[in-house]
Structure 1
Amino acid sequence: MPDTALTSLSAGATDLDQAHLMEELARQVGVRKITVLTEELLRDGQGSLPSSVIRAAAAAIVRNPWAGSPVSNDLAPETERIAPVLAKVLTDRLTAALGGAGEIEAFGKSAVVGLKGEVEHAAALIHTPFFGNLVREFLEGTSILSFSDDRAEPGTSIAVPMWHKEAASTRSHYQTLTLSLSDAPHPDEIVVIAAASTGSRPHPRIGDRTTDRPVTAEILEGILP
């Protein structure tokens, strides 16, 4: 990690001091740009529920430190240096956009690597404890994070799946936030995304594992020719 590591965030520092430190850390690990997408779902304009759901995705465009390297290259040192910084920077953006970790009910993650890299480079930045554990901690969740990863050109649509941050099998909170970055990822970049939602889908009504009746392949009897 950079010399000014995450552990140097002291309890006595002001929020502004910490924000400035995180911006510097992001630059040190190669972040070029941070984008935040926020959308408000007004229950699809139907139903009697008055409250809306706000969803947000925070995306960091970071230089790929492994671009062009052989597949024998050890990914661990750079993962440990970069991933924790991204986890902090992106969750800070999400909590600011959604009113704090306590307002968040669902979360997810994604990474897309440019064409000079391999999918494993994207995976290295989101599929280890150096990212996932910290995102979960900062957003006050207990579930593993749902995810997607890909290798693509700039402008590709990126679908980030989400589910409940404390009960992953809660179907009402299965949802996807899709975004597209016109200038990313460049061939030597990786887009890393954390996403979150303050609630469920607009009108969830497909039940859950607690309400399902037993279903096996026997239901196909009499249906298939």
Structure 2
Amino acid sequence: MPEIVLRKRAVIVEEIFHEGGPVSTVPLKRGAILSVIHNPFAGRYVEEIASFMEELKPLGVDMAGALLAALGGKAADVEGYGKGAIVGAAGELEHGALWHVPGGYAMREILGDAKAIVPSAKKLGGPGTRLDVPVTHINASYVRSHFDAMEVGLADGPKADELLLVLVMTTGARIHARVGGLAAKDVKGLDGLR
């Protein structure tokens, strides 16, 4: 199995106090961790790639733990999450799909029994490509106040033979959420939807 070759990592944390409305005393924190790794399948078609997900699991857990620490270290403070991948030009979109299991389950493991599916985005692109990573509530995908996204990217990655892997976590709803729907306080958390 190919080994993980990590070139660089970046952690981004935003604190949002307002979006033009009242200033919140407790800012919304939105954080992302990005890892750029060598894509072992770049430049050629390989039929069996799914086993590489197993190799990516420790990286996912490490990234999720580092992102949680950057957001203050308390799993109970995290209310939203998402994941994504940017595949360098010598790869294929399916290589980004390898991040679904390792990225999603890593955050669920670190956060403790989160129920909702971890939303995802992936695309092909080169250095400087930006990706909007979708975010939903960790226990119920229908919590409208937590529908969000975080734009991420790095100036020097991914190179053609690389993958840029992303995890995103947030500490709450959009700062001025007020469009109704299922409220976070009313989540039953039984099926990941409501």
TM-score by length of 2: 0.87
Shift of 1:50: 2.1
The one-letter code sitting in structure 1 at the alignment partner of 2:43 is G
Matched, 1:113 2:92: no
CA distance in 2, matches of 1:134, 1:165: 13
* 1:132-147 correspondence runs (5 A): 132-140=104-112, 141-147=114-120
Shift of 1:135: 1.9
Shift of 1:79: 2.1
Instruction: Give the equivalent residue in structure 1 for 2:143.
Output: 170
TM-score by length of 1: 0.75
Which string of whole-angstrom CA distances, capped at 9 and with x for unpartnered residues, describes residues 4-26 of structure 1? xxxxxxxxxxxxxxxxxxxxxxx
Instruction: Give the equivalent residue in structure 2 for 1:13.
Output: none
Matched, 1:103 2:77: yes
CA distance in 1, matches of 2:27, 2:163: 32
CA distance in 1, matches of 2:120, 2:141: 12
| Structure with the higher fraction of residues in helix conformation | 1
Look up the SS of the partner of 1:43 in the other structure: coil
CA distance 1:204–1:64, change in 2 (3 Å): same
Look up the SS of the partner of 1:44 in the other structure: coil
Shift of 1:203: 0.8
Aligned match for 2:37, one of 45, 62, 76: 62
- Whether the 8 Å CA contact 1:136–1:143 is kept in 2: the answer is no
Instruction: Give the equivalent residue in structure 2 for 1:194.
Output: 167
Instruction: Give the equivalent residue in structure 1 for 2:51.
Output: 77
The one-letter code sitting in structure 1 at the alignment partner of 2:87 is V
Instruction: Give the equivalent residue in structure 2 for 1:218.
Output: none
Look up the SS of the partner of 1:73 in the other structure: coil
Question: What runs of 5+ residues in structure 1 fail to find an aligned partner?
Answer: 3-27, 211-225
- Whether the 8 Å CA contact 2:131–2:151 is kept in 1: the answer is yes
* 1:156-167 correspondence runs (5 A): 156-167=129-140
Tell which deviates more after alignment, 201-210 or 174-183: 201-210
- Pick the structure with greater CA Rg: 1
- Whether the 8 Å CA contact 1:111–1:150 is kept in 2: the answer is yes
- Whether the 8 Å CA contact 1:90–1:194 is kept in 2: the answer is yes
Look up the SS of the partner of 1:96 in the other structure: helix
CA distance in 2, matches of 1:158, 1:113: 11
- Whether the 8 Å CA contact 1:34–1:59 is kept in 2: the answer is yes
CA distance in 2, matches of 1:64, 1:139: 28
* 1:201-212 correspondence runs (5 A): 201-208=174-181
Instruction: Give the equivalent residue in structure 2 for 1:219.
Output: none
Question: What runs of 5+ residues in structure 2 fail to find an aligned partner?
Answer: 184-194
The one-letter code sitting in structure 2 at the alignment partner of 1:44 is E
Tell which deviates more after alignment, 130-139 or 149-158: 130-139
The list of structure 1 runs, each at least 4 consecutive aligned residues, that deviate by more than 3 angstroms after superposition, is none
Which string of whole-angstrom CA distances, capped at 9 and with x for unpartnered residues, describes residues 119-138 of structure 1? 000111x223x332222121
Instruction: Give the equivalent residue in structure 2 for 1:32.
Output: 7
Instruction: Give the equivalent residue in structure 1 for 2:190.
Output: none
Relative CO higher for 1 or 2, CA cutoff 8 Å, sep ≥ 6?
Answer: 2
Which string of whole-angstrom CA distances, capped at 9 and with x for unpartnered residues, describes residues 49-78 of structure 1? 4221111000010100111221x5200222
